[in-house]
Amino acid sequence: MSTPAPPPSRRLLPLSPRLLVRLAVAFGIGLLLFLLVWLNSRRDYDFYKADGSEAAPGQTEALPAPLPPDVAGNDDGASGLRVGGKGSASDTPAPAGGSQPRILEVPTRPAAAAPVPPPAATAANDRATPEPLSSPAPRYPQEALRMGAGGTVRIRVTVAADGSVDRLEMTDGSGNRYLDRAALDAVRRWRFQPATRSGQPVVAEVTVPIVFNPDGR
């Protein structure tokens, strides 16, 4: 008895790489189109709301109903409209005689100017400047005599209220320091009758000239 011959084997045709790439691209494009169509249909037919309750196709969220007139006329409402009703300010009858509360402005009087005090009366015996009472002559310096120096020294004296010399200042010098120093030393020992104002002694200034003459000493 003879053994049957084996059936001829089927040989698969090999696929080229270019064909595999084309198939992969076509499959990706088809998958992308399917996802786009599925997402679009899901957006159009949303079977559930966000709160989980079923929503009928085409059902939209209802808008809030408008407020009734008595609620919309409330001053604190969000609508901002004011409808007059019973008990509102517009229905309150005006006072008898048509008088309304008014703000009265009282005119203010300008402040009176302060009176100017009269000038102080000047006494007839007042002295404007001090007058010397005791004025000893200065000593002529021997150094200036030997040089034959002379000249005039002017000294500004500030006399206190008691007649004493408070401060000395030489305004004009003689050009010789010995003569200037001798004039300052002499006037420092002077006594004055002070200036007066309204009969009272006051501090005042006076300029005193001291003359040095080598010929007449």
Query: Tokens standing for 204?
Result: 């005042």
Domain boundaries of the chain, sorted by first residue: 19-48, 131-212
Q: What is the rounded average pLDDT of the residues 31-48?
A: 71
- Could you tell me if 193 and 133 are in contact, meaning their C-beta atoms sit under 8 angstroms apart? yes
Confidence of residue 41 (pLDDT cuts 50, 70, 90): confident
- Could you tell me if 165 and 187 are in contact, meaning their C-beta atoms sit under 8 angstroms apart? yes
Q: What are phi and psi of 197, to 5 degrees?
A: -140, 125
pLDDT of residue 125: 79
- Could you tell me if 207 and 155 are in contact, meaning their C-beta atoms sit under 8 angstroms apart? yes
Q: What are phi and psi of 98, to 5 degrees?
A: 70, 15
Read out DSSP for 150-191?
Answer: -EEEEEEEEE-TTS-EEEEEEEE--S-HHHHHHHHHHHTT-E
Confidence of residue 77 (pLDDT cuts 50, 70, 90): very low
Return all residues near 214 (Cβ < 8 A) that are at least 6 apart. 140, 144, 145, 148, 149, 150
Nearest-angstrom CA–CA distance, 209 and 188: 13
**DSSP-assigned beta bridge partners for residue 196:** 201
Task: State what percent of residues in the chain have pLDDT above 90.
Answer: 36
pLDDT of residue 211: 94
Nearest-angstrom CA–CA distance, 121 and 90: 74
pLDDT of residue 158: 95
Report if pTM > 0.75.
no
- Could you tell me if 168 and 187 are in contact, meaning their C-beta atoms sit under 8 angstroms apart? yes
Residues 131-212, CATH architecture? 2-Layer Sandwich (3.30)
